[in-house]
């Protein structure tokens, strides 16, 4: 499935006046591509994902999904903050979107159990979110997104609230899941290292209003060992993206970069 963002703009009307959050953003993904979008806080990353998900409408431009016909849902979104239901067990949380789609209870529980196992929560199927750590709850969100088998997966800083060790482990888990269940992923983060480690391609957004400043292929194959982070090409790419983002942050601070 290919996702096309065609000249997307978004203006929010607030009581402080109009806010231009996104300014003519265009890109096209390839089939099963892992695209990371990085940019400073407030640059419109969440806005862009919500538009791609169809949760809000752009002020200008359009989103298109192009690919073979399928019964699978077009997209699923994993949010930055906890999006699990506190009153449901881990298994029921993961099975919930399948229930909405009318899948029988034994069938949806079988599918949910498979993905709960895949994210390492097999022993916790009957636990409730309050009994889990933040990292485990994010794993539930990821299992749920994969279980509903969307054609495109939209992820908004899903590991943003985790400590660096947990983040690294979940990044590797997500890549393993993605290689077993390939599909297009749009993954938003403000973490440049995370973007380069995970993505086939990194799109860099400017500060508000978000505009595409760079669209860079990541020159590493798969599977990707953690040691790529010490590669010269990795460091050069990190430097290049950081220079762009730093310039944007400095504009906001009103200082010289
Ligand atoms: P990011 O996810 O990159 O941090 P957002 O997409 O959340 O950025 O926000 C982009 C800009 O739009 C920010 O200036 C934010 O304050 C503004 N914004 C976001 N949502 C709304 C809204 N519902 N109403 C008004 N302004 C908003
Ligand atoms: Mg955001």
For the segment 134-161, what is each residue's pLDDT rounded down to a tens digit?
A: 889 999 999 999 999 999 999 999 999 8
Alpha-carbon distance of 219 to 197, in angstroms, equals: 10
Q: What is the pLDDT averaged over residues 98-117? A: 95
For residue 83, what pLDDT band results from cuts at 50, 70 and 90? Answer: confident
Nearest-CA residue for ligand 1 atom 23 is: 12
Cα 189 to ligand 1 centroid, rounded to whole Å:
15
Kindly give the number of the ligand 1 atom that is closest to the alpha carbon of 39. Answer: 3
Is the distance from CB of 204 to CB of 39 less than 8 angstroms?
Answer: yes
**Ligand 1 within 6 A of 40 CB?**
no
Region 24-37: what's the mean pLDDT? Answer: 97
User: What does 48-67 look like in DSSP terms, one character per residue?
Assistant: HHHHHHTSS--SEEEEEEES
Q: Provide the token pair at 60.
A: 């200008």
| Residues 181-219: tens digit of each pLDDT | 989 999 999 999 999 999 999 999 999 999 999 999 999
CA distance 257 to 243: 9
- Residue of the CA atom closest to atom 26 of ligand 1: 12
Residue 187 has a pLDDT of: 98
* Residue 252 pLDDT exceeds 90: no
Confidence of residue 115 (pLDDT cuts 50, 70, 90): very high
User: Ligand 1 centroid to 27 CA: how many Å?
Assistant: 20
Pull the structure tokens for residue 78. 């994993």
| Residue 161 confidence (pLDDT) | 85
Q: What is the pLDDT of residue 256?
A: 55
Rounded to whole angstroms, how far apart are CA atoms 193 and 228? Answer: 11
Q: Decide if pLDDT at 81 tops 80.
A: no
What's the average model confidence in pLDDT over 46-50? 97
Question: What is the reported pLDDT for 254?
Answer: 80
Minimum-distance ligand 1 atom for the alpha carbon of 205: 3
Structure-token pair, residue 177: 């899941």
Spatial neighbors of 256 by CB under 8 A, at least 6 apart, are: 250
- Does 223 sit behind a cis peptide bond, omega within 30 degrees of 0 on the bond before it? yes
Residue pair 47/11 in contact (Cβ under 8 Å)? The answer is no
Closest Cα partner for 212 from 54, 51, 5? 5
pLDDT at 71: 87
Ligand 1 centre and the CA of 210: distance in Å? Answer: 10
Our mutation pick for probing the ligand 1 site, out of 40, 43, 44, 209, counting the most ligand atoms within 8 A of Cβ, is: 44
What confidence tens digit (pLDDT) does each residue in 209-248 have? 999 999 999 999 999 988 999 999 999 999 999 999 999 9
- Residue 70: is its pLDDT beyond 80? yes
pLDDT computed for residue 234 by the predictor: 97
pLDDT beyond 70 at 105: yes
pLDDT category at 166 given cuts 50, 70, 90 is confident
Residue 214 Cα, ligand 1 centroid: separation in angstroms? Answer: 21
Length of the chain: 257
Local structure of 210: helix, strand or coil: strand
Could you tell me the two tokens for 77? 């979104």
Query: 161: Cβ–Cβ under 8 A, 6 or more apart, which residues?
Result: 80, 81, 134, 138
Encoding tokens for residue 69?
């016909």
Ligand 1 pocket test: pick from 16, 19, 52, 203 the residue with the most ligand atoms within 8 Å of its Cβ: 19
How do strand 152-156 and strand 184-189 relate by DSSP bridges? parallel
Residue 7 phi/psi, 5° resolution? 60, 45
pLDDT score recorded for residue 255? 61
Please work out whether the CB of residue 42 comes within 6 Å of at least one atom of ligand 1: yes
Strands (E) in 196-253, as ranges, are: 201-205, 212-217
């Amino acid at each position: 499935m290919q996702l096309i963002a065609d000249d997307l703009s978004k203006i929010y009307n607030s009581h402080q006046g109009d806010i231009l959050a996104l300014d003519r953003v265009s890109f096209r993904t390839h089939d099963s591509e892992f695209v990371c979008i990085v940019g400073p806080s407030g640059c419109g990353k969440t806005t862009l994902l919500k538009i791609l998900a169809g949760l809000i409408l752009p002020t200008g431009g359009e989103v298109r999904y192009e690919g073979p016909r399928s019964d699978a849902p077009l997209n699923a979104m994993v949010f930055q903050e906890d999006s699990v239901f506190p009153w449901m067990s881990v298994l029921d949380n993961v099975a919930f979107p399948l229930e909405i789609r009318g899948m029988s209870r034994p069938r949806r529980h079988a599918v949910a159990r498979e993905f709960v196992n895949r994210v390492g929560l097999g022993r916790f199927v009957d636990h409730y979110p309050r009994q889990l750590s933040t990292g485990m709850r994010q794993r539930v969100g990821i299992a749920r997104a994969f279980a509903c088998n969307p054609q495109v997966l939209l992820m908004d800083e899903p590991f943003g609230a985790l400590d660096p060790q947990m983040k690294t482990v979940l990044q590797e888990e997500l890549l393993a899941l993605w290689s077993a269940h390939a599909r297009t992923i749009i993954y938003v983060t403000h973490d440049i290292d995370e973007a380069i480690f995970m993505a086939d391609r990194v799109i860099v957004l400017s500060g508000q209003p978000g505009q595409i400043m760079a669209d860079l292929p990541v020159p590493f194959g798969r599977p990707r060992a953690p040691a790529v982070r010490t590669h010269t090409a990795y460091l050069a790419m990190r430097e290049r993206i950081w220079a762009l983002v730093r310039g944007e942050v400095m504009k906001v601070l009103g200082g010289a970069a």
